Amino acid sequence: REEKQLELTLEALISQVADLKNSLVSFIYKLENEYDRLTWPSVLDSFALLSGQLNTLNKVLKHEKTPLLRNQVIIPLVLSPDRDEEIMRQTEGRVPVFSHEVVPDHLRTKPDPEVEEQEKQLITDAARISPDGAQKQIQSLNKMCSNLLEKISKEERESESGGLRQNKQTFNPTDTNALVAAVAFGKGLSNRRPPGSGGSVQSGQPGAGAIIAGASGMQQVPMSSAPAQQQPMLAGVQMAQAGQPGKYIAYLIVIIKQEAR
C-alpha cells in the first residue's frame, strides 16, 4: 500500500513539474525571441501562471496523503560512462550519461555547504528580530517605497508637461510672416499720402525721409506741421498727430530700422 501511494504521489509530482517546466520554457522563449513586442501585462500573466503552478506543487507536497519524501533514499544501482539512450529520452537530451561525475549533482538532496551555511545564518538573524521590530522595518520599507514611487510619478508628470510646453506653438506663423513682409518689403502697406498733409520731416531727424522713401518704393510721408510740443517723441522720431494711421506705420518702419542698426 505504501509503495502504491508513493507511486501515485510521484506521478502527480511529475505531472506538476512537467506543467511548470512547459510554462518556464514558454516564458523564456518570449523573453529571448519576442522581447521587442513583449508587454508588461503579458510578463505579469506569465509570472502569475508560474506562481500558481508552484503553489499547486507545494500543496501536493504538503498534502496529508503524500508520504515524506525526505525519508526516501535514492541509490544509483548502475553507473556507466557510456551513453544511455533511455536517460537521454527521459531527460529530453540534457543528461547523456549517468556516471560518477553527474550523480553528485543530480542526486543531491541538500544545497551546497556554503549556501546551507548562509541559509542558517539568515534564519538565525530573522529569529532575533522581535515582532515589533519587524513591523517597524516593514513600515520603514513601505515608506521608502512610497516615497520612491511618488518621486518617479513626479518625474514622469514633469517630463510630460515639459514635452507639452516644448511642442506647444506660441505664435501665429501667418501673422509673423505678414509682419516681416510689411517691415522688410512694405507689403500690404498703403503708398497713398494722407489728405491734408503738408511739409516734410523736420530737420531735427536727418535721414528719416530718405529711409522712408527707400522702403520698397514707398513715397515719403510728410509729417504734420503741428507744434513740436504737441507731438511726442519715440526713439528719436517725432510722432504724427492722432487720426493719421498711415504716418504711424511709416514711423514704425523708421524706428525698427534704426534699432536694427
Range of the domain at 43: 1-72
Question: Tell me: the pLDDT tens digits for 127-162?
Answer: 888 888 889 989 999 999 999 999 998 888 888 777
Q: Is the model more confident about 252 or about 151?
A: 151
Q: Is the pLDDT of residue 251 over 90?
A: no
Q: How far apart are CA 202 and CA 211, in angstroms?
A: 14
Tell me what pLDDT residue 146 has. 92
* Statement to judge: residues 4 and 52 lie in one domain: yes
Cα R_g (the chain), whole angstroms: 45
Beta carbons within 10 angstroms of residue 58's beta carbon: 11
Number of domains in the chain: 3
Banded pLDDT at 259 (limits 50, 70, 90)? low
Q: Is the pLDDT of residue 91 over 90?
A: no
Matching residue, cell 500500500: 1
* Statement to judge: residues 8 and 66 lie in one domain: yes
Residue 149 covered by a domain: yes
Find the CATH number of the domain harbouring 7: 1.20.58.1710
* Statement to judge: residues 90 and 150 lie in one domain: no
* Statement to judge: residues 82 and 101 lie in one domain: yes
Specify whether the CB–CB gap between 255 and 205 falls below 8 A: no
Residue 33: exposed, middle, or buried by beta-carbon count in 10 A (0-12, 13-18, 19+)?
Answer: exposed
